[in-house]
Structure 1
Amino acid sequence: MYDSNERIKNSDPYTFQRINEHLVRDKNQFYSNDGTVLNVDGKSFQIVKDYEKDYFMYAKDKNKAYYINFMDGKDEMVKELKGLNPKNFKVLNRYYTKDDKKVYFSKEYADIQEVQNVDVKSFEVLYFENIENKDDFGKDKNKVYLFGLELKGVKPEKFQVMKEPITEKIIYVRDENNLFVIFYDYFSGFNFVKTKKIENIDFATLKWKSARELEDKNGEYIVNGSVIDEDKIEIKFIKK
């Protein structure tokens, strides 16, 4: 095995084997297509869940659990999911993983997020068919999460996504009694969610006029602000 025309240390061409589109191995080590040696224990390394078409996978060895993204640079390709026990490591969906003590959220272009103060035993992933962020929600018996971050004030009972105007980076959600708008964004090293409750909504007469305008029998609600203009986040109510 060669990298920049130099033979890679400890590589064994006689046991060379392709695992998938992005990964090869020999008897000693695992390599990406560009010759990067994965910083894992080569003897015990195994793939737990492979999302080959999306260039990432979850894996483990005898010591650690990993999120591996082949689109990242050489030094960022293999990310340890710190503190997860490989013996109890489970992949819940594309972005959430857990063991018996911790839950992690991992996504391309987003920060790897250990879910804080989560009830691991009751945690489950949520799936919403017709939205962009369909795999990004989870809940436990007490809270709801987006990108591994708590949606403050939102209760898990009867939680559902109402509307997602994707170009606005906002999502409307509800629990049993209340409507909320979530302002969100994510990129390398940064996940952001801010939850704003829309007071006294009448769900029976609720309808959207546009991405940021909605109304019910009581009046009109205008949603202002964004991640960039966090100090301008507000819900303006115009009474009928």
Structure 2
Amino acid sequence: MRKIISVIFLSISIFIYCEIKDKKINFSEKQENSEEVKKIEFLSIHGYTKEKNKIYFAGIQLEGVDSESFEYLGDKYAKDKIKVYFAGIQLEGADLQSFEYLGNEYAKDKNHVYAFGDNSFLSTEDVDLKSFKYLGADYSKDKYSVYYGYRKLEKIDPSSFEVIFKFGKDKNNVYFYGSKIEKIDMKSFEHLGGYYIRDKKNIYFGNEKLEDVDLLSFKYMDRYYGKDKKSVYYAAGNLEDSDPSSFEVLGGFYGKDKNNVYYFDSKINNADPETFKVYTEGRYIKDTIYNAEDKNNYYYQEDIVKNKKK
């Protein structure tokens, strides 16, 4: 069974301008003068920078900001003695004194809960602001309710609710991305690691049961890989022609055994397992990028990008 996992890496880009116009920082020109570069302070990877008494977000100067009291809070949130900001824009109606960053673009003050700068994220009529907290993996709770993103979860126990990796659980149920996993045995529930969990009857990848798995011999290997005495699993599916006794996880979504090399759940044809190695960062041969190689070829993901003999 072929399982396609889409991994989305969220990154914030700081735009670099080639010309000096109005309130934009020309970083390329400042690189020529090391003393000027030293004066630019990068406050976060999310786009805030400081130069002398000026604050910028993504290269654009913030208007009316008090640079002396300016404080980066987390993700795209910041504040000074006058205002609260999200992505360089003032959060209208935010209460400065009670404003609190909670994690992963969540925040609150005495009047609102915020997510991604949005104060209509949850109705304040339903949320107990004093006890509201962000738990991780898009789960949050107050003393009355548990929430997944914008949605309140029904028939759930807030006092026992906790987050384990991408899973949520209370004393009665286990949840995956906010949806209850049906018929799981809570007394024998165990998080094996990554997306793998189990109870006394089944092994799951997320909320999907592994078919024909050997419960006694199953071992967690990596957030996407597991194996038993018969098979290697990528997500909830078997890896074609895999040998569990020799299989190892290489990183970067690669794995190999004595016979084959795999990328995600696909076998890489003609790859040499004995000499195959993976690099955590891309490398270059002239203008060709690769992130793995064996004695015969250079690879980018599962594709051969250059033959060593040519």
Under TM normalisation by the shorter chain, which class is it? 0.5 to 0.7
Assess, with a 3 A threshold, how the Cα gap between structure 1 residues 60 and 152 changes in structure 2: closer, same or farther.
farther
CA distance in 2, matches of 1:202, 1:86: 41
Quote how far apart the aligned CAs of 1:154 are.
Answer: 0.9
Deviations along 1:30-81, one digit per CA (max 9) or x if unpaired, are 23575x321233378532x444xxxx4431342x32124xxxxxxxxx1222
Q: Determine helix, strand or coil for the equivalent of 2:175.
A: strand
For residue 294 of structure 2, the aligned residue among 211, 214, 227 is: 214
Q: Is the 8 A contact 2:218 2:227 kept in 1?
A: yes
Q: Is the 8 A contact 2:291 2:301 kept in 1?
A: no
CA distance in 1, matches of 2:164, 2:301: 38
Quote how far apart the aligned CAs of 1:198 are.
Answer: 3.8
- TM (norm. structure 2) is 0.44
- Determine the structure 1 residue equivalent to 2:233: 145
Quote how far apart the aligned CAs of 1:225 are.
Answer: 9.5
CA distance in 2, matches of 1:225, 1:180: 11
Deviations along 1:73-96, one digit per CA (max 9) or x if unpaired, are xxxxx1222332122111111311
Consecutive unaligned residues of structure 1, counting only runs of 5 or more, are 69-77, 107-111, 128-134, 185-192, 227-232
Q: Determine helix, strand or coil for the equivalent of 1:92.
A: strand
CA distance in 2, matches of 1:39, 1:202: 49
CA RMSD across the alignment:
4.2
Letter in 2 for 1:17: S
Q: Is the 8 A contact 1:96 1:103 kept in 2?
A: yes
- TM (norm. structure 1) is 0.55
Consecutive unaligned residues of structure 2, counting only runs of 5 or more, are 1-110, 113-119, 278-284
Per residue, is there more helix in 1 or in 2?
1
Letter in 2 for 1:25: D
Q: Is the 8 A contact 1:44 1:61 kept in 2?
A: no
For residue 194 of structure 1, the aligned residue among 266, 280, 288 is: 266
How many pairs are equivalent? 177
For the pair 1:121 / 2:202, whether they are aligned, the reply is no
- Determine the structure 2 residue equivalent to 1:229: none
Q: Determine helix, strand or coil for the equivalent of 1:161.
A: strand
Q: Is the 8 A contact 1:65 1:81 kept in 2?
A: yes
Quote how far apart the aligned CAs of 1:194 are.
Answer: 2.4
Deviations along 1:104-126, one digit per CA (max 9) or x if unpaired, are 223xxxxx532222112221111
Assess, with a 3 A threshold, how the Cα gap between structure 1 residues 37 and 223 changes in structure 2: closer, same or farther.
closer
CA distance in 1, matches of 2:148, 2:154: 11
Q: Determine helix, strand or coil for the equivalent of 1:37.
A: strand
- Determine the structure 2 residue equivalent to 1:95: 195
Quote how far apart the aligned CAs of 1:238 are.
Answer: 10
Largest Rg, 1 or 2: 2
- Determine the structure 1 residue equivalent to 2:157: 42
Q: Is the 8 A contact 2:210 2:236 kept in 1?
A: yes
Q: State the identity %.
A: 17
Assess, with a 3 A threshold, how the Cα gap between structure 1 residues 87 and 46 changes in structure 2: closer, same or farther.
farther
- Determine the structure 1 residue equivalent to 2:261: 180
For the pair 1:26 / 2:126, whether they are aligned, the reply is no
Question: Which structure has more RCO (C-alpha within 8 Å, separation ≥ 6)?
Answer: 1
